[in-house]
Structure 1
Amino acid sequence: MKKRPLWKRLLRWLGLGLLVCVGGSIAAVILFRFVPVPGSALMAERRILALGREKPYHPRHQWVPLEDIAPAMGVAVIAAEDQNFPDHFGFDWKAIEKAVAHNEHSRRKRGASTVSQQTAKNLFLWESRSWVRKGFEVYFTLLLEAGWSKRRILEVYLNIVEFGDGIYGVEAASSRYFGKHAKALTPSEAALLAAVLPSPLKYRADAPSAYVRGRQEWILNQMRMLGGTQVVKALG
C-alpha cells in the first residue's frame, strides 16, 4: 500500500485535532450550562504564576447560584461593565466603535469587552492581548451566547470574576471585604465591588481610593437610571 505524502498526513492530524478541540469546547459549554463551574482558566493561570512568589497564595472561591446573590450585584456589574448586556449577542458594537475612536486620540486606552466576552475569557482562556487570544475569545463568546441564557452568563461571571489577589467570585469577595454572604450585599457594597473590576489587582475594595469611590457613586447612579433590580429580573 502506497504511503500518503507527509503533508496529507499532517493535514489529516491537524483536522482531527481541530475536530477534537471544537467538540471539546462545545461539550464544556453544554456541561457548564447545567453544573456549577469549579474554577476557571484565569484561576489556574494565577495559581501557576504564584508558584514563584515569596508571599503565600491562598485563593478563595465559592460557587453560589444567582438566587443567592443580591440582585443589586448583578445590576452593579451591568451598570459598570456592559449596560447593553440584556440586548446584544455577545458584542456591543457601538461601545467598540466609541472605544476605537477614543483610543486613537488618548494614551489611556478604553476597552469595550462585554460581560459575555469577559466570562468567555476568564473561564476558558489565558491572559494576553494577542490577536490569537482575541480570536478564541470571539469563538467562545459566540458559543456562550448560543448555548446559555443571559441569566446563566451573568451567574457564571459573578462566580468567577476576580475581585482582588486570590479573590474569585462575589461570594468570596463579600465574605472577605464585608463579612457577609453575597445575598446580603447592599447596593452601595455591590457598586464598590463593581468599581474595582477594571483592574482588581490595582484597585481595592477594602481600601478604596478616591477614584474607586468616585466610580462607586457613578455606578450607583447608573444602577438607578437602568431601573434597579428589574434589569436582572428581566433577563431570560
Structure 2
Amino acid sequence: MLVLVVLALIPALLTLLYRVPVVHPISTLMMRDLVTFTGYDRDWKSLEEMGDLVPHSVMMSEDGQFCAHDGIDWAALNLVINDALSGEKTRGASTIPMQTVKNLYLWQGRSFVRKGLELPLAIYLDLVLPKRRIMEIYLNIVEWGPNIYGAEAAAQHYFGRPASQLSRRQAALLAVTLPNPLERNPAKPSSGLNRLAAKIEQRARKAGGYVGCLKP
C-alpha cells in the first residue's frame, strides 16, 4: 500500500512542479532514450517563441474541444464506449491532457489499465495547470519521429526551419503526423496525408474561438 501511495503521489507532485514556466519536463520515452544511451533531439520553446500555427494546427487535429473540456471529452469518450459495446471499430478519444499525462507518467501501447489511469490524471492536470501550459508541455514532449521530441526539433528535422517560421501547410503536416509519428513523414507526405493536412489547415484558419484559451 505504501508503494502504491508513493506511486500515486509522484505525478501529483510533479504536476504541481510543472506549473513553473522554467521547468522543462521530459517524457517517459525520453527517459528511455537516456537510459539506453540512444539520446534524443528536443529544443524546448515556449508558445510565444513557437508562434500560433503549430499549436492551432495540432489542436484542430488532435483535440478540437481542448479549450472547452475539463481534461476529458466526455461526448467523444461515450461514442467510443458505445462503438465498443456494439462491436464496431472504435475511434480515438484521447484529449491533449490525456496524451500529455500518458507521455509524462505512463507507458505506451494499448491498455485498458493505462487508459483507466489516464482519466483521473488528465482531469487533475487540467485542474492544476492552465490550458496554455498544458499545450506548451505537450508540444515540447510529444514524439514526432525516432528520438525526435517537440515541435521545434520536428520543424528543424523535417523542414530545416524553426517552428515559428513554418508555413500553414507545414504546420498542418506536422499535426497530422502525430497519431503515427514512426510511420508518417511530414516532409514526404503521401497523397492521403496531404489531403488530411489540407483539411486541418482549413480548420486552423477558421479556428476562432476554439483556440481562445491559447491566447496570452
TM-score, L = length of structure 1: 0.82
Are the counterparts in 1 of residues 67 and 213 from structure 2 also a CA contact under 8 Å?
no
Matched, 1:72 2:53: yes
Matched, 1:28 2:14: yes
Alignment of 1:1-236 (within 5 A): 14=1, 16-34=2-20, 35-45=22-32, 57-102=38-83, 104=86, 106-107=88-89, 109-227=90-208, 231=211, 234-235=214-215
Q: RMSD over aligned Cα, in angstroms?
A: 2.3
Post-superposition CA distance 1:54-97 (Å, at most 9, x none):
xxx55211111111112111110111011100010011111223
Aligned residues: 214
Are the counterparts in 1 of residues 97 and 126 from structure 2 also a CA contact under 8 Å?
yes
Gaps of 5+ in 2: none
Task: Report the alpha carbon displacement of residue 21 of structure 1 after superposing the two structures with TM.
Answer: 2.5
Gaps of 5+ in 1: 1-13, 52-56
Q: What's the secondary structure of 2:208's corresponding residue?
A: coil
Distance (whole Å) between structure 2 residues aligned to residue 99 and residue 41 of structure 1: 26
Distance (whole Å) between structure 1 residues aligned to residue 119 and residue 213 of structure 2: 27
Task: Report the alpha carbon displacement of residue 231 of structure 1 after superposing the two structures with TM.
Answer: 1.7
Q: 1:153 to 1:234 in 2, by over 3 A?
A: closer
TM-score, L = length of structure 2: 0.89
Q: Could you say which residue in structure 2 is the equivalent of 1:9?
A: none
Q: What's the secondary structure of 1:64's corresponding residue?
A: coil
Which one-letter code corresponds to 1:18 in the other structure? L
Which one-letter code corresponds to 2:40 in the other structure? P
Sequence identity of aligned pairs in percent? Answer: 38
Task: Report the alpha carbon displacement of residue 24 of structure 1 after superposing the two structures with TM.
Answer: 2.4
Whose Rg is larger?
1
Post-superposition CA distance 1:98-145 (Å, at most 9, x none):
3344554654x4111001100110111111322221222113212211
Are the counterparts in 2 of residues 30 and 147 from structure 1 also a CA contact under 8 Å?
yes
Are the counterparts in 2 of residues 45 and 126 from structure 1 also a CA contact under 8 Å?
no
